[in-house]
Amino acid sequence: MAPDDSCDATQSELSELSPKSADCRRRSDRCHRAILTAAAELLEEKGYGGISVEAIAARAGVGKQTIYRWWPCKASVVMEAYAERATQNLPLPDTGCVKTDLGELLGQLATVLGSTSTGRALAGLIAEAQTDPHVAQEFRNQMIGCRRSATQTLLQRGIERGELRPDLDLELAIDSLYGPIWYRLLLQHAPLNREFAIALVEQVVVGIGS
């Protein structure tokens, strides 16, 4: 697909263009979406090390400068694209029971990571993060941060309802829940699925319950 020069209006230019500013914003939104889609597709096809900003731009049909207008580096755009795809259809449960909520949240995540190409792409990104500080930082910002925040919300609700200990170390509890998921994703020594996630939650909640 040939680069679409109409995507290259800056944000300040968009605000000054009238009466065509709405059309420009729509084109800008389409370009943003096309870039994220291209980055996610290429990540799953080639892995992080096998793609470049030029490849993302070519797949999206935009100029390379368009990508650098919104993201400072390849790691930023790839992680935003991946985090969005990896967390699709993972709403925050609110059933009134912390064990059920955690089981639903982790069960959905384990299913995605264990049965789709998303999991393989994530394992590759984790590997890259060990040697590339940009990938590591973006991974923490885009992927880890949002999941930890969501899980902390569920745990805090459990404390407020008296289901969990009031002195619970939230950070340690979150590590206890997600550590085994990353372990199985990377080592692949045992199934990573919903059943595993439910059993994991059952065991962890025994230790952190009130």
More confident residue, 169 or 121: 169
What residues have CB less than 8 Å from 18, skipping those under 6 apart? none
CA angle, residues 93, 170, 157, in degrees to nearest 5: 35
CATH code, residues 84-208: 1.10.357.10
Once rounded to an integer, what is the mean pLDDT over residues 67-87? 85
What band does 18 get if pLDDT is binned at 50, 70 and 90? very low
The mean pLDDT of the chain is: 86
Once rounded to an integer, what is the mean pLDDT over residues 117-143? 87
Residue 37 has pLDDT above 60, yes or no: yes
Residue 89 has pLDDT above 80, yes or no: no
* Predicted local confidence at residue 16, as pLDDT: 45
Once rounded to an integer, what is the mean pLDDT over residues 88-114? 89
- Provide CATH 1.10.10.60 ranges for the chain: 5-70
CATH pick for 5-70 out of 2.40.50.140, 1.10.10.60, 3.40.50.300, 1.10.3720.10: 1.10.10.60
State the Cα–Cα distance between residues 75 and 135, nearest whole angstrom.
5
Residue 124 has pLDDT above 50, yes or no: yes
Once rounded to an integer, what is the mean pLDDT over residues 182-200? 97
